[in-house]
Amino acid sequence: MSAATLRSTYREAVKQAIREALNRDPRTFVMGEDVGAYGGCYAVTKGLLQEFGEERIRDAPLSESAFVGAGIGAAMAGMRPIVEIMTVNFSLLALDQIVNNAATIPHMSGGQFAVPVVIRMATGAGRQLAAQHSHSLEGWYAHIPGLKVLVPATLEDARGMLWSALQDPNPVLIFEHVNLYNMEGVLAADAGAVPIEGAAVRRAGRDLSIVTYGASLHKSLAAAEQLAAQGIEAEVIDLRCLRPLDDATIMASVARTRRVLIVDEGWRSGGISAEIGVRVAEQAFYDLDAPPMRLCGAEVPIPYPKHLEDAAVPQIDTIRDAAVSLVRPQGGLRE
């Protein structure tokens, strides 16, 4: 680790992004349940109340509809709010505000009103928080025109996406997987803003493309290492953004590998994996040597027991086995 880099956790990367945003722009403030005195449900905002005061770090009442609505109103009035919702499941209590107001006002006003609000929330399973705190609903929001839907999986994106999101005139939703907050890594000391559109090739390969996002990215990279030991080179695509999807990067990868496995912790039926699979079929059908394959979360509410929770979402071994079955059906060798 050089002097130009530092060790950080995903949690700390998000916190530094928030701190920089607060220092850079006096219009920026944070609002949500327990973001102040408690320091945030996942400790992302811990210490910021003491640093910036109650005007900039605002504890909100237990009403997602109320404080998300207040954030939308503040954004329309010229502020740059960062609204935190404890978990994606609780965002459903603000669905009317997000879908019927934030996403539609710029269009219904003919562009006269912008809604530059950023809404952060935790998503995903793996912390034994049971069915009302553990689902992956970001694919639902990717269905809605007028929203940008970001899914940062790396320290660089966790730190850099927020500032770019705050510059966007339209509402941006950022989904942070609960299993990533403790992830450690090396981050450039001068890490700054990153683009909030476009997928990234995180591992090059020739035999199949694994398309994924969030915590499943790191499972997919680990599975790719195991596949390499079997002579299968998987290319791993980090979507980074679910709306808009980066079709070009996905299709270019499929053209190279001729097989695609879509890994999504969300449910299979009607999920973002289905959207990606159909786009591949529409745009890259003649590049395919096999039908697109999906590996998704089990179609059940996320269980509480650890062994059942693990069984309900894709894991390294299930990703590896799905990839092998795609490249070597019935145990045969790929030609």
Q: Is 309 a catalytic residue?
A: no
Residue 309, phi then psi, degrees to nearest 5: -60, -45
Give tens-digit pLDDT for 232-268: 999 999 999 999 999 999 999 999 999 999 999 999 9
Distances (CA, A) of 175 to 95, 105, 201, 242: 15, 22, 20, 10
Write out the DSSP string of 115-175.
---EEEEEE-SSSS--TTS----HHHHTTSTT-EEE---SHHHHHHHHHHHHH-SS-EEEE
Q: What does pLDDT average to over the chain?
A: 95
- Give dist(CA 149, CA 99) in Å, integer: 13
- Give dist(CA 296, CA 262) in Å, integer: 8
Q: Which two tokens stand for residue 287?
A: 């590049």
Confidence label for 2 from pLDDT (cuts 50, 70 and 90): low
Give tens-digit pLDDT for 7-29: 999 999 999 999 999 999 999 99
Name the catalytic one among 64, 235, 265, 309.
64
Q: Does 5-188 match 200-328 in CATH topology?
A: yes
- Residue type at 104? T
Q: Does domain 5-188 have CATH number 3.40.50.970?
A: yes
Q: Which two tokens stand for residue 197?
A: 């559109």
CATH class label, 200-328 = alpha beta
- Give dist(CA 149, CA 88) in Å, integer: 13
Establish how many alpha carbons lie within 13 A of residue 155's alpha carbon, considering only the half-sphere containing its beta carbon.
20
Establish how many alpha carbons lie within 13 A of residue 266's alpha carbon, considering only the half-sphere containing its beta carbon.
25
Domain spans of the chain? 5-188, 200-328
Q: Is 307 a catalytic residue?
A: no
- Give dist(CA 334, CA 144) in Å, integer: 39
- Give dist(CA 8, CA 272) in Å, integer: 30
Give tens-digit pLDDT for 60-118: 999 999 999 999 999 999 999 999 999 999 999 999 999 999 999 999 999 999 999 99
Name the catalytic one among 33, 133, 138, 309.
133
Q: Is the pTM of this model over 0.75?
A: yes
Confidence label for 3 from pLDDT (cuts 50, 70 and 90): low
- Percentage of the chain surpassing pLDDT 70? 97
Lowest mean pLDDT among 184-198, 246-260, 319-333: 319-333
- Read off the pLDDT of each residue in 133-159 and give the average, rounded to a whole number: 97
pLDDT at 335 over 80: no
Confidence label for 1 from pLDDT (cuts 50, 70 and 90): low
